[in-house]
Amino acid sequence: MPGRITDLDSQAAALRAARKRMGWSQGRLASALEQAADALNRGKDLPPSGRQTLIQYISYFENGRRHVAGRLQLLFCEALKSTAEELGFDDSVSNFGVTELPELPAAHLASAGPAVISSLRLILETNIQADAQIGPAYLIPAVQSHLPVIETICRMTRGPDHEQALRLGSQFAEFCGWLYHDSGDYESAMYWTDQALEYAVELDDRRVISYVLMRKSNVATDAGQPGHGLGLANAALKQHQQLTPRLRAVALRQRANANALFAETADFANDTENALIQATDGLTQEVFRTALLIARRHMSRWRQAPAGSGSVLRNRLCQSLKTAEPGGQRRNRYVTMLCAWPGSLPPMP
């Protein structure tokens, strides 16, 4: 993968040039992509949130922040009347594959396992911070290259070190899935989130399992599979008494998202309000009442909105929640995490 950043720049330039040859704006290209999706019966491959999200994706692609996901490449070729090579698409790069690395010496892990785990945890935290600044495209190769090392550590460690390795493995794999999700590559996102769930199940920590199930639900819903997303969100809420308020909040919020795509207005409203109650746990009564009134007002508008406009009202609700606390003070960031669509989520427990 060493040439991937260069490939990304080449792809961005090729996409910009192809669009300009057609004399199109990014909005016009988005319309052409929708027409291509209809002609090829590939509507499910488009972002479910609508044209504005698609225009945002085009901007990311043309600015070199993201690779065009495989499911969208055919649509770009059709809309721009160009070949994959002309648009800079490189099918030789595998989303799942990582360079094969040598085995770590067992004796080294036996003596230095905790230090290796601590070092990898710092690497993860650094990449999470970098994601907010530079986006997923530049981080995916680096993050993914560490996963074989973590797999080896999980296989060779014992006792408390093994538990810490499993926890780190779940966090690392989930973050890799998040990066692919943020890139619009839902297949790869689900693959790595599934790997995170395997580590979580072996760890047998209900909070970690719930979080990863919620993330799988988020990926499935954004991929246009709200039924699967709803089932996963329900699974995330099982044994809810073992979950923290913030975990219950993100799972309820995600279930609300799935219900919105089914136009289940009552369930959407109930889950959104309950998520807000959980998310504002510990806030002052004044702040809570303000946030709740805002939420109820926007949920009332959502009930009356035409089909397909739920995401717009959800976004308005999110913006209102961000200003719910006096002076813009976000003393509890789990109020604003309700706004993640698919936005950033709190770190794994």
Residue with tokens 């989130």: 193
Distance CA 131, CA 126 (A): 9
Residue 346 φ then ψ, to 5°: -65, 155
37 close to 329: Cβ distance less than 8 angstroms? no
The count of other CB atoms within 10 Å of the CB of residue 347 is: 12
Q: What are the extents of the domains in the chain?
A: 4-80, 105-204, 239-349
Check residue 212 and give its pLDDT. 94
pLDDT tens digit string along 250-287? 888 889 888 888 888 888 888 887 877 777 666 555 55
Query: Which tokens sit at 276?
Result: 């807000």
pLDDT tens digit string along 14-70? 999 999 999 999 999 999 999 988 888 888 778 766 788 788 888 888 888 777 877
Residue 84 φ then ψ, to 5°: -60, -40
Sign of CA dihedral 125, 131, 196, 315: positive
68 close to 91: Cβ distance less than 8 angstroms? no
Residue scoring higher pLDDT (307 or 343):
307
CA atoms within 13 A on the CB side of 108: 8
> Does pLDDT of 99 surpass 50?
no
What is the pTM (predicted TM-score) of this model?
0.61
